[in-house]
C-alpha cells in the first residue's frame, strides 16, 4: 500500500526587487549552465559550540522549520514571467510547516583537509540552491568522526546555515538567529500578522513609490560624469572577460597599528566626523594618488543594510543597494577641505539611496558599459567584543567559525605609468637563430652581417667585427690544436681589462671551453687556489700577469696572438675603461627590489637584480654562495648585485651606491657614498671614504696634500644636510689599499678627537664669562670633562654629531630666550666653535638668562607612557 501525502500549497506573487533582479540576471547571463561554474552568491555562516555545550539536533530541526516557515523570504522562488517580461518573486505557502522547504544535510570529518573540502563545497557549489523552486536555504551538520548517536551536537561538530544571497543579506542573519533561539527555547514562534510589512510589500513599494526628488538629485549629481570611463588604476593582471570569470578574489588585510588607530579615532571624534566618512575621504584621496591626479572620481558604493523604515528591521530579505558616489576633488585642497566635501557628498547620496540603481542607469541610456561599477567601496563596522559574537541557542552558546581562502600571491602596487616603464625597460628580447644558440655563434652571425662595423672600442683602440673574429679564430685554433681543449673544459684567463680580454673570452667560448675570470690583483696564492678549485689546467695570461701563474699550470700568453698580426705596436693594450650604468643590454632583465623583495616605484632607491642570458649557473661547489648571490623569480635566475639604484622617468638606471655602505645613524638613514661623492667634488681630493665610528660619529678619510678640515667642513655644510656632515675629517697622503687595489677600510687609522680638542688649549681658553658659559653647555651636551674643549675647536671635531648639535641649539634657545627667527641653527652650524657661538649669542637684545623657566624638551629626552 502506497501512502501518498499531498501538501496543499498556495502562492503569493509580486515583482522581484531591483536587488533581486540584479543577482538573478547576473547568474543567468554570466554563468552558463552548460559550463562548469563557481557559485558566488552562496552565503554560508559557520558556527561551532562552546566547549562542553550541547544542542539537541531534534529540537534544532523543529526550530529551523518554525523559523523558515515564519519568514517568507526563506521559501520564495524567483521566476521570470515570459508573458509580461518581468521577474516575479513567489512565496510558497504550505499548510503545515515541515522540512520540505529546506534540506538538512549530515556528514562527518576527521582531518582539516576533509573539513575544508566540505566548507569549500558550501561556498562554491552552484547546485546547492534552486531559485526557481524556492530552495534558498539549507542546513548542514558536520560531525566529528561519526554521526551523533545521542541526538546531541557537541563542541567539535560544526553547524552551517547557508542561504542564497538573492533572498538574504548580511544583516538578515541576526534576525534569523534571534528567531531560531526563540523557536528552540519555546518550541513556538508567533506568525506575522497582516499589519507587518513583508519583503514582497517592500518590493511593490519600491516599484510604485514616487521618486521625483530622488530622480532629480541623481540627474544633477552625475551631470557630465563620464560613467563609461574606468579609473586608471594599477593592476597586476588583465581582467578576464565575463565568460571566463573565476569568481575568486584576493583579500588583503592590514593592521593600522595601535598608535595610528588611536589617532584615527581621536581625529574623527574631535572633528565630529563619523568613521565612515573619514574612511571614505581617505579612500578618495588614495584613489586620487593612484590615478595620477584624476580629480573627478566616481565609484560604486555598496549599502549592505538599506532598511530605511523601522517596519523593515525585522524582515529577512535582500535590502542591499548600489549607488554611484561621485567626488570632485580640488588638488589644492587641504585634507580637511577634502574631508568636508566627501562628507557632504556621502550624506546627500545616502539620503536618496533608496532610488534603485537600475533607474539611475536608465537616466543615461547612451552609456552601454557603466565602468564606475568596476570600483566599489563599502564600510563594514565589526564589533570586536566577544560577547557580541556569541549566539545563544537555548542554554548553549555558539560562536562563528569562519574560514577564508588564502591567496598565494603578494599584491604589489605599482602605478600604471611605472608598470609601463618597467615593462619597456625589460623589453630587451632579440631573436636568436636557435633557442640553444651560444654567444660565439651569435658573434659569428654579426660578423657575417656587419663585417666592417665597430665591434669593440676601448679609449683610442678599436676592432671591427672582421678583425675581432680573426684574432678569436687564431686563439681558438691554438687552444684546440696545441692544447687539446675539449668541450666543457674550464679555461681561466688572468688579464687586465683590455681588448685582449675580449679576444680571450670569445676564443675560449669558440674552442668549446668554459670561461673563468681570474683577477690580476689577487695574490699568487689565491690564484693558485682558484685554479685548483676549478680544476683548470690552462690559464690565459699576458705580459703583465705571466708571472702570476705557478709552474704546474700551463699558461698561454695571449700577447703572442696579438703580436702575430700587423697591429699598431704603439697601441696600449692594458688601458681600463669605466662603463656607466645606463639601460639594459639585449636579452637581459632587471628587477629593483627592496629588502622584502618587493618591487619599488619609479625613482625609489633599492637593490638591483639582473637576469637573462649572462647570469651564471652558480659557484662551483659552493651552494651557500650560490644561494646568497642568485634568486629565482618566475623560473629565471637573477643575480643579486648589491648595487643600490633607482630607475629614472626615462627608463635609465642610475647608480646610487652599494647596499653594504648604507647605514643608519641616530634614526637617520645615511648613504655614505653620497657624502663621499660630495667630498670628491673638491678638486684637491683624489680619494675619499666615509665610515661610521662607534655607532655615533661619521668620520671622513680624504686623500689630499692640499686641503684642511675647515675647507672640508664648510664644503659639506653647504652641500649636505646636518645629519650627514662628518664629525671629524682625517687627511692622509694616501689611503690604504688591499690586494685588489680597493680602499682597505680595516687599515684606516682610528680618529683621535683629542688632537683637535687639546691643540693650543692654553691660548684657546675662554676669554670671558660668556664664553665660559657656552663652554659649560658644550661639556654638558658632549658629556665631556670641563677642561678638554678648546674655544676654537669645531663642535664636530670635539665629538659632536648632528643630533647633539640640535640638542645644543635647543639649550641655547631655552637659556637665552630666542627663537629661530632671531638666530637660526644654520648660523651656528656655519660657525661651529665656542668663541663663534658666544659672539652670535651676544648679538641678542638681552643676554640675561632666567634662572628658572620652562625649557623646551628635546625629542631625545622625551619619554612615552601608555596608560
Q: Are 791 and 830 in contact (CB under 8 A)?
A: no
Rounded percentage of the chain residues whose pLDDT exceeds 90: 20
Residues 689 and 769 both lie in one domain: no
The whole-angstrom separation of Cα 24 and Cα 430 is 51
Give Cα separations from 17 to 189, 208, 239, 356, 370 (angstroms): 27, 11, 30, 9, 21
Instruction: Tell which of 751, 782, 816 closes a domain.
Output: 751
Give Cα separations from 629 to 423, 574, 580, 626 (angstroms): 24, 30, 22, 5
pLDDT value, residue 772: 85
Residue 684 lies in a domain: yes
Identify the burial level of 720 via C-beta atoms within 10 angstroms of its C-beta, where 0-12 means exposed, 13-18 middle and 19 or more buried.
middle
Q: Which CATH number fits the domain that encloses residue 729?
A: 3.30.300.30
Q: Which CATH number fits the domain that encloses residue 803?
A: 1.10.1200.10
Q: Which residues are CB-contacts of 182 (< 8 A; sequence separation ≥ 6)?
A: 189
Residue 215 lies in a domain: no
Per-residue pLDDT tens over the stretch 837-853: 888 888 887 644 443 33
Kindly report which listed range (117-126, 151-160, 613-622) carries the lowest average pLDDT score.
Answer: 613-622
Which of 370, 342, 334, 376 has its CA nearest to residue 233? 376
- Name the pTM for this structure: 0.47
Residues 461 and 544 both lie in one domain: yes
Residues 640 and 680 both lie in one domain: no
Residues 705 and 743 both lie in one domain: yes
Kindly report which listed range (10-14, 177-181, 634-638, 729-733) carries the lowest average pLDDT score.
Answer: 10-14
Domain range enclosing 744: 666-751
Whether 55 has a pLDDT exceeding 80, the answer reads yes
DSSP 8-class letter at 452: T
The whole-angstrom separation of Cα 478 and Cα 558 is 10
Averaged pLDDT score across all residues of the chain: 79
pLDDT value, residue 418: 57
As beta bridge partners, residue 491 has: 515
Beta-strand runs (E) in 623-673: 630-633, 636-647, 653-658, 662-665, 668-671
- Phi/psi zone of residue 97: left (φ > 0), alpha (ψ -120 to 50 degrees), beta? beta
pLDDT value, residue 326: 94
Q: Are 25 and 236 in contact (CB under 8 A)?
A: no
Angle at 495 between CA 492 and CA 501, to 5 degrees: 85
Residue 55 lies in a domain: no
- pLDDT tier for residue 76 given thresholds of 50, 70 and 90: very high
Handedness of CA 839, 841, 842, 848 (dihedral sign): negative
Residue 739 lies in a domain: yes
Q: How many beta carbons lie within 10 A of that of residue 835, not counting itself? A: 20
Q: List the alpha helices (DSSP H) in 687-844.
A: 709-719, 754-757, 769-782, 802-816, 825-830, 834-841
Cell numbers describing residue 350: 545616502
Residues 653 and 672 both lie in one domain: no
Instruction: Tell which of 726, 751, 776 closes a domain.
Output: 751
- Phi/psi zone of residue 301: left (φ > 0), alpha (ψ -120 to 50 degrees), beta? beta
Residues 798 and 736 both lie in one domain: no
Cell numbers describing residue 590: 632587471
Kindly report which listed range (361-370, 664-673, 675-684, 851-860) carries the lowest average pLDDT score.
Answer: 851-860
Per-residue pLDDT tens over the stretch 689-726: 898 887 667 899 999 888 888 889 888 877 777 678 88
Whether 139 has a pLDDT exceeding 90, the answer reads yes
Q: What do you get for the CA distance between the two ends of the chain, in Å? A: 79
Rounded percentage of the chain residues whose pLDDT exceeds 70: 79
Residues 623 and 541 both lie in one domain: no
More confident residue, 765 or 810: 810
Whether 450 has a pLDDT exceeding 60, the answer reads yes
Handedness of CA 680, 681, 684, 690 (dihedral sign): negative
Q: How many residues does the chain have?
A: 867
Q: Say how many domains are in the chain.
A: 4
Q: Are 93 and 11 in contact (CB under 8 A)?
A: yes
Residue 306 lies in a domain: no
Kindly report which listed range (21-25, 47-51, 206-210, 380-384) carries the lowest average pLDDT score.
Answer: 380-384
Instruction: Tell which of 723, 751, 779 closes a domain.
Output: 751
pLDDT value, residue 546: 84
What integer is the mean pLDDT of 522-537?
86
Residues 449 and 550 both lie in one domain: yes
Which of 765, 782, 774, 793 has its CA nearest to residue 839? 774
Residue 511 lies in a domain: yes
Whether 107 has a pLDDT exceeding 90, the answer reads yes
Q: How many beta carbons lie within 10 A of that of residue 393, not counting itself? A: 23
Residue 254 lies in a domain: no
Residues 682 and 741 both lie in one domain: yes
Q: Which CATH number fits the domain that encloses residue 607?
A: 2.30.38.10
Give Cα separations from 379 to 96, 301, 325, 729 (angstroms): 41, 9, 13, 58
Q: Are 400 and 159 in contact (CB under 8 A)?
A: no
- pLDDT tier for residue 284 given thresholds of 50, 70 and 90: very high
The whole-angstrom separation of Cα 597 and Cα 96 is 64
Q: Are 86 and 140 in contact (CB under 8 A)?
A: no
- pLDDT tier for residue 25 given thresholds of 50, 70 and 90: confident
Q: Which CATH number fits the domain that encloses residue 512?
A: 3.40.50.980
Residues 465 and 559 both lie in one domain: yes
What integer is the mean pLDDT of 641-665?
74
Residues 446 and 533 both lie in one domain: yes
Q: Are 672 and 691 in contact (CB under 8 A)?
A: yes
Residues 626 and 540 both lie in one domain: no
Residue 418 lies in a domain: no
R_g of the chain, CA atoms, integer Å: 39
The whole-angstrom separation of Cα 497 and Cα 520 is 10
pLDDT value, residue 685: 87
Amino acid at each position: 500500500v502506497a501512502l501518498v501525502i499531498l501538501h496543499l500549497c498556495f502562492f503569493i506573487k509580486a515583482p522581484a526587487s531591483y536587488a533581486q533582479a540584479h543577482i538573478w540576471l547576473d547568474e543567468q547571463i554570466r554563468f552558463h549552465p552548460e559550463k562548469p561554474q563557481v557559485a558566488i552568491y552562496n552565503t554560508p555562516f559557520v558556527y561551532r559550540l562552546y566547549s562542553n555545550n550541547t544542542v539537541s539536533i531534534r529540537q534544532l530541526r523543529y526550530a529551523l522549520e518554525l523559523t523558515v516557515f515564519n519568514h517568507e523570504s526563506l521559501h520564495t522562488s524567483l521566476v521570470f514571467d515570459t508573458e509580461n517580461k518581468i521577474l516575479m518573486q513567489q512565496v510558497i505557502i504550505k499548510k503545515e510547516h515541515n522540512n520540505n522547504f529546506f534540506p538538512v544535510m549530515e556528514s562527518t570529518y576527521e582531518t582539516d583537509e576533509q573539513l575544508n573540502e566540505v566548507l569549500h563545497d558550501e561556498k562554491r557549489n552552484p547546485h546547492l540552491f534552486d531559485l526557481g523552486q524556492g530552495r534558498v536555504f539549507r542546513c548542514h551538520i558536520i560531525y566529528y568522526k561519526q554521526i551523533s548517536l545521542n541526538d546531541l551536537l557537541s563542541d567539535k561538530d560544526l553547524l552551517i546555515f547557508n542561504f542564497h544571497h538573492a533572498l538574504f543579506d548580511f544583516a538578515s542573519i541576526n534576525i534569523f538567529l534571534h528567531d531560531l533561539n526563540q523557536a528552540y527555547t519555546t518550541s513556538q514562534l508567533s506568525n506575522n500578522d497582516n499589519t507587518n510589512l513583508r519583503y514582497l510589500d517592500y518590493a511593490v513599494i519600491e516599484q510604485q513609490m514616487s521618486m521625483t526628488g530622488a530622480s532629480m538629485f541623481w540627474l544633477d549629481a552625475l551631470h557630465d560624469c563620464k560613467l563609461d570611463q574606468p579609473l586608471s588604476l594599477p593592476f597586476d593582471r588583465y581582467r578576464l572577460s565575463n565568460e571566463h570569470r573565476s569568481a575568486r578574489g584576493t583579500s588583503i588585510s592590514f593592521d593600522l597599528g595601535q598608535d595610528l588607530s588611536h589617532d584615527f579615532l581621536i581625529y574623527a571624534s574631535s572633528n565630529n566626523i563619523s568613521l565612515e566618512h573619514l574612511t571614505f575621504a581617505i579612500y578618495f584621496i588614495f584613489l586620487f594618488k593612484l590615478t595620477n591626479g584624476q580629480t573627478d572620481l566616481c565609484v560604486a558604493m555598496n549599502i549592505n543594510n538599506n532598511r530605511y523604515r523601522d517596519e523593515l528591521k525585522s524582515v529577512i530579505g535582500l535590502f542591499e543597494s548600489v549607488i554611484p558616489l561621485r567626488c570632485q576633488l580640488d588638488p589644492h585642497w587641504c585634507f580637511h577641505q577634502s574631508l568636508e566635501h566627501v562628507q557632504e557628498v556621502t550624506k546627500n547620496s545616502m539620503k536618496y539611496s533608496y532610488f534603485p540603481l537600475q533607474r539611475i542607469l536608465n537616466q543615461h541610456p547612451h552609456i552601454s558599459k557603466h565602468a564606475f561599477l568596476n570600483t566599489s567601496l563599502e564600510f563594514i563596522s565589526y564589533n570586536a567584543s566577544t560577547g557580541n559574537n556569541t549566539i545563544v541557542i537555548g542554554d548553549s552558546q555558539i560562536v562563528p567559525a569562519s574560514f577564508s581562502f588564502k591567496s598565494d600571491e603578494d599584491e604589489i602596487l605599482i602605478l600604471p605609468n611605472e608598470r609601463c616603464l618597467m615593462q619597456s625597460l625589460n623589453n630587451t628580447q632579440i631573436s636568436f637563430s636557435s633557442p640553444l644558440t651560444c654567444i660565439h655563434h651569435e658573434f659569428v652571425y654579426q660578423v657575417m652581417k656587419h663585417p666592417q662595423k665597430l665591434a669593440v672600442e676601448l679609449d683610442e683602440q678599436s676592432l671591427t667585427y672582421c678583425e675581432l673574429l680573426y684574432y678569436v679564430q687564431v686563439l681558438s685554433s691554438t687552444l684546440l690544436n696545441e692544447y687539446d681543449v675539449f668541450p666543457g673544459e674550464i679555461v681561466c684567463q688572468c688579464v687586465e681589462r683590455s681588448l685582449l680580454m675580449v679576444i680571450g673570452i670569445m676564443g675560449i667560448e669558440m674552442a668549446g671551453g668554459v670561461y673563468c675570470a681570474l683577477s690580476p690583483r689577487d695574490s699568487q696564492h689565491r690564484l693558485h687556489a682558484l685554479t685548483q678549485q676549478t680544476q683548470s689546467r690552462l690559464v690565459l695570461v699576458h705580459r703583465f700577469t705571466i708571472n702570476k701563474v705557478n709552474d704546474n699550470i700551463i699558461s698561454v700568453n695571449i700577447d703572442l696572438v696579438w703580436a702575430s698580426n700587423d697591429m699598431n705596436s704603439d697601441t696600449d693594450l692594458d688601458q681600463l675603461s669605466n662603463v656607466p650604468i645606463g639601460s639594459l643590454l639585449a636579452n637581459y632583465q632587471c628587477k629593483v627590489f627592496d629588502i622584502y623583495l618587493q618591487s619599488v616605484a619609479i625613482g625609489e632607491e633599492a637593490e638591483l637584480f639582473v637576469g637573462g642570458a649572462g647570469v651564471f649557473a652558480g659557484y662551483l661547489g659552493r651552494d651557500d654562495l650560490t644561494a646568497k648571490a642568485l634568486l629565482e623569480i618566475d623560473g629565471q635566475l637573477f643575480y643579486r648585485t648589491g648595487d643600490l639604484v633607482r630607475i629614472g622617468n626615462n627608463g635609465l638606471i642610475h647608480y646610487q651606491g652599494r647596499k653594504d655602505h648604507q647605514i643608519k645613524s641616530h634614526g637617520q638613514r645615511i648613504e655614505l657614498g653620497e657624502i663621499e661623492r660630495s667630498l670628491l667634488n673638491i678638486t684637491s681630493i683624489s680619494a675619499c671614504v666615509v665610515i661610521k665610528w662607534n655607532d655615533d660619529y661619521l668620520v671622513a678619510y680624504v686623500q689630499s696634500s692640499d686641503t684642511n678640515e675647515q675647507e672640508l667642513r664648510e664644503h659639506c655644510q653647504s652641500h649636505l644636510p646636518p645629519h650627514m656632515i662628518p664629525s671629524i675629517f682625517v687627511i692622509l697622503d694616501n689611503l690604504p689599499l688591499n690586494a685588489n687595489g680597493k680602499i682597505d677600510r680595516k687599515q684606516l687609522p682610528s680618529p683621535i678627537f683629542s688632537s683637535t680638542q687639546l691643540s693650543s688649549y692654553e691660548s684657546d681658553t675662554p676669554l670671558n664669562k660668556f664664553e665660559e658659559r657656552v663652554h659649560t653647555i658644550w661639556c654638558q651636551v658632549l658629556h665631556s670633562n670641563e677642561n678638554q674643549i678648546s674655544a676654537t675647536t669645531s663642535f664636530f671635531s670635539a665629538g659632536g654629531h648632528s643630533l647633539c648639535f640640535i640638542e645644543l641649539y635647543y639649550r641655547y634657545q631655552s637659556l637665552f630666550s630666542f627663537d629661530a627667527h632671531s638666530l637660526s641653527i644654520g648660523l651656528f652650524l656655519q660657525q661651529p666653535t665656542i668663541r663663534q657661538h658666544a659672539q652670535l649669542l651676544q648679538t641678542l637684545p638681552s643676554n640675561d638668562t632666567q634662572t628658572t623657566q620652562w625649557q623646551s624638551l628635546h625629542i631625545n629626552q622625551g619619554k612615552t607612557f601608555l596608560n
